[in-house]
Amino acid sequence: MTDEVVLTSTDGVLEVRLNRPEKKNALTHAMYETVSAALEQADTDPSIRVALLTGTGDTFTSGNDIKDFQARGASTAPRGGSSFLQVISSMQKPLIAAVNGAAVGVGATMLLHCDLIVAARSARFVMPFTSLALIPEAASTLLVPRLLGHQRASALLLLGEPLDAAKALEWGLVNWVVEDRMVMETAREIGRRLAALPPEAVRLTKRLMRHGEPTVAGRIKEEMGIFSERLASEEAQEAFTAFMEKRKPDYSRLR
Ligand code: COA
């Protein structure tokens, strides 16, 4: 049996590839556990600066394995999916998604916790929870209306209407739509760009953006506290010095 999750790292970017193409990369309990462990480890490994999620073949992922759902039945035991959502929603390092095809169910809702998303022109996004007698997860009932407005969210979450890549771009669900063959190349390039940036500044910026419902005044105060610390940081000093010396900054020795 081939690995159902393939992990590789290059240039500070951990690639996590869902690799169960014969089942359209449907996520089993074991796959969730492997992905969660890899992302948790990446978050504390100083050699990794960015994680990138993608899938093998023509599908990003068809979501939770429905056979697993069926087997789970009335059991209330914790499952891999909920810890996976905890992990991706609390990751400190940036998470990129290279959506190489259909993203269904949790395959679509997990994208709400990714920071930058490259989609293939053939990608589409479907959240068919109600038709499976389920409700949407991953805080999508909060995040989709916030991102798209109530009416658009209702079409996606109540009706389960599919969204194509062009509309996903127009609605701000993804950052870039590229030809299918360019998805990985584009996502890796974004990964390399992020990995070359000062890591602490990137983590802090992500943390500030992902905060809950702060007041503007509270946010200005919080930003100023962190901004002052940043001014004194080794990263900022390197950035300032490089600017003054008319050279590129080098953050490679910083952790
Ligand atoms: N769980 C379990 N098996 C799945 C699956 C899932 N989420 N998604 C696809 N598969 C299986 C199919 O049962 C089929 O298995 P088989 O070859 O043994 O019959 C195989 O993967 C290929 O899927 P198929 O539907 O034939 O491919 P397709 O190209 O026609 O369609 C999708 C691909 C992704 C559009 C379609 O499979 C789909 O919509 N799946 C989503 C299921 C879903 O509702 N997920 C949300 C869970 S909340």
Q: How far is the CA of 60 from the centre of ligand 1 (A)?
A: 12
Which CB contacts under 8 angstroms, 24+ apart, belong to 39-45?
39/14, 39/87, 39/88, 39/91, 39/95, 40/87, 42/14, 42/93, 43/91, 43/92, 43/93
Q: How far is the CA of 25 from the centre of ligand 1 (A)?
A: 9
Angle between helical axes of 29-44 and 80-90 (0-180°, round to 10): 30
Q: How far is the CA of 62 from the centre of ligand 1 (A)?
A: 6
Span 216-225, mean pLDDT? Answer: 73
Span 194-219, mean pLDDT? Answer: 87
Q: Per the CATH hierarchy, to which homologous superfamily does domain 5-195 belong?
A: 2-enoyl-CoA Hydratase; Chain A, domain 1 (3.90.226.10)
Of all residues in the chain, the percent with pLDDT exceeding 90 is 75
What does the pLDDT read at residue 213? Answer: 67
Amino acid at 207: R
What does the pLDDT read at residue 82? Answer: 86
Residues in contact with ligand 1 by the CB-under-6-Å rule are: 23-24, 26, 59, 62-67, 102, 104-105, 128-129, 132
Task: Work out the pLDDT band at 8, boundaries 50, 70, 90.
Answer: very high
pTM: 0.92
- Report d(CA 143, CA 169) in Å as an integer: 16
What does the pLDDT read at residue 211? Answer: 75
Angstrom CA distances, 7 to 89, 109, 159, 196, stand at 20, 22, 35, 21
Show me where the domains of the chain are located: 5-195, 199-244
Beta strands 5-10 and 50-55, pairing class: unpaired
What does the pLDDT read at residue 78? Answer: 53
What are 107-141's pLDDT values in tens digits?
A: 999 999 999 999 999 999 999 999 988 999 998 99
- Report d(CA 100, CA 61) in Å as an integer: 9
What are 47-78's pLDDT values in tens digits?
A: 999 999 999 999 999 999 999 888 876 665 55
